[in-house]
Amino acid sequence: MKINTIKILTFGAVALFSAIGCTNDFEEYNQEKLGGPENFYADFYAIVDPMKSIQRGLQADYQRYPNLSADMYSGMFSTATPFNGGVNNLTYSMVDDWNSKLIAKQQDIFNYSIIIDNTAKVTYKGVDFTGTFAVKKILKVITAARVADSHGPVVYSKYETPNANGVTDFDSQEQAYNYFIADLTSAINDLQKVIATSATESVEDKSALKKADLVYGGSMIKWAKLANSLKLRLAMRMSYADPAKSKQYAEEALSSSAGLITENTDNALISVGQSELSFIIYTYGDCMIGAPLMAYMNGYKDPRLSAYAIPATDTQVQGKFIGIRQGIDLLNGKTTYGGFSQPQAKAASGDYFSSTDGKLKLFTAAETWFLKAEAALRGYAGAGDIKTNYQTGVQQSFGEWGKSADVVSYLANTTDTEAPYVDPKNTANNINAGDSQLSTITIAWNDADSNERKLERIITQKWLSLYPNGPEAWAEQRRTGYPILFKVRKNDSGGAISTEAMIRRIPYTISTKTSLYNYQQALQMLDGPDKGGTKLWWDKKL
């Protein structure tokens, strides 16, 4: 049993000082506007390095967040390790140290952003990094949105502008979402401006991004698609809280000339080198596959199953795909449950959990099509046909995981539903046929179904396609109520979190309460106490 302690290194003033010392020729470069090869191909490392750190930072301290919170709450993952004597996040007893890493990660990433801004002003004075800065803005939105979707109010628009007393104010989650949308729209516009330039223009900007980009290798066209796809994601997240703005923003994204991520060749995957999940799963043995994910995939006879999980080695279930239910008595821990199925992520494009060439999944084509399916269900203009969008979402997901040959028969399946869960180690954990914790939704599209049942079908397949993106899967499950997940059997929250309603957010931690963040303001912005049972702003359906 081991908690991962890897953390991105602070770039700081040393790198900034070094960068300033080796770029004395930039005044002459700026005067000439177009310099020689030494300027055309300048490495811009004082911007490139922290840009890479921002991207890699999205998986830093991965075990504490999101693996031991959002990943588990999503139903995709679980553990056989009884951390803290079996009383921890998984049993709704919030572990302050684990949960503090979410805001700490945001602070690291936002501080790198400040370093980049200052470096550009001092070291590369006069060089226009419009496209590179647009990408940085997109990464900041991704980072802050995860904080907001976990905690609620978030320090975003005022991060760099504390009050006179040194205290920094929060944005409410509603305010933050509007800022996110505005910043994504601005980033799209900036990227399109650079895209429209000739080959001899914006050379420095394009060169810097190509060196810094761990997702698309410098393709601003693809970054614009990602920004617009994220805009659609956030717009749909607002569907119950602010239907009018949800419709407005979604329709803007659907009609944007930037386009959307509709093919797997445009999937947004950060090349992180060693995936932190590679040692969390295979070295520490602290992460196992979730029982709900396996119940759905077993019930559906899902061909993606072998790409998502490794067959169990335990003698009682050897060769089967079986997950561990969250929030149970783990008995003797790994001795009891360590032989259940481990997660894997063997996509057609490579192993996301590789120890040498891992990928962190941000957004894929399948998600776009499921977003469009829901938008069409809600009557948003430009969303297209619901059934076509739904089926294309499944097709794109199967393509992502190298299972395209099986998609036609899968989509034609009108009978299979989620399978019952049988725990051979403790029958008290079983979820038998007919239990309300088992979904009855089938796979094949049915125009005769109610809109609510259509929504369940869309979101259940969307959830399956989001794997292994636990934070996004957990957010969508809370927003819509789908997929139907198993409740915890062991609730150690002391009444702060309802077993039936399940956890709705992660409380702020001591590090935030005692920081120069305006915690009392955040409390006022919450629609309830600072507990795990309080719903977020967009969590308005149930």
Q: Which stretch of DSSP H or E encloses residue 19?
A: helix 12-21
The DSSP symbol for 264 reads G
Residue 2 lies in a domain: no
- DSSP-H helix ranges across 74-172: 83-86, 96-99, 101-122, 130-151
Residue 443 lies in a domain: yes
Residue 539 lies in a domain: no
pLDDT for residue 36: 41
pLDDT for residue 42: 59
Instruction: Identify the band that residue 18 occupies on the pLDDT scale cut at 50, 70 and 90.
Output: very low
Residue 21 lies in a domain: no
Peptide bond preceding 468: is omega within 30 degrees of 0, i.e. cis? yes
Interatomic CA distance for residues 343 and 355, integer angstroms: 14
Residue 531 lies in a domain: no
- CATH number, domain of 80, equals 1.25.40.390
- Residue 59: name the closest of 498, 359, 472 by CA: 359
Rounded to two decimals, the pTM is 0.93
Interatomic CA distance for residues 441 and 361, integer angstroms: 27
Q: What is the largest CA-CA distance in the chain?
A: 76
- DSSP-H helix ranges across 196-270: 203-212, 220-237, 243-255
Count of beta carbons in the 10 Å neighbourhood of residue 122: 15
- Residues 461-499: pLDDT tens digits? 999 999 999 999 999 999 999 999 999 999 999 999 999
- Residues 152-206: pLDDT tens digits? 999 999 999 999 999 999 999 999 999 999 999 999 999 999 999 999 999 999 9
Q: What is the mean pLDDT of the chain?
A: 93
Residue 16 lies in a domain: no
**Residue 355: pLDDT over 90:** yes
- Residue 348: name the closest of 265, 226, 278 by CA: 265
- Residue 362: name the closest of 271, 262, 276 by CA: 271
**Residue 367: pLDDT over 80:** yes
Interatomic CA distance for residues 127 and 466, integer angstroms: 39
Q: Identify the bridge partners of residue 273 per DSSP, sorted by sequence position.
A: 358
Residue 67 lies in a domain: yes
Instruction: Give yes or no for a contact between 301 and 443, defined as CB atoms under 8 angstroms apart.
Output: no
**Residue 2: pLDDT over 90:** no
Residue 471 lies in a domain: yes
Interatomic CA distance for residues 237 and 140, integer angstroms: 18
Tokens of 51: 């840009």
CA distances from 211 to 23, 47, 49, 204, 221 (A): 17, 10, 9, 11, 16
Q: Is beta strand 288-289 parallel, antiparallel or unpaired with respect to 268-273?
A: unpaired
Tokens of 159: 């991060």
Tokens of 293: 């994910």
Q: Structurally, how many domains does the chain consist of? A: 1
Mean pLDDT (whole number) for 124-148: 97
Tokens of 394: 């499944």
- Give me the half-sphere count of Cα atoms (radius 13 Å) on the Cβ side of residue 346: 13
> What residues make up the domain containing 520?
49-525
Length in residues, the chain: 542
- Residues 501-518: pLDDT tens digits? 999 999 999 999 999 999
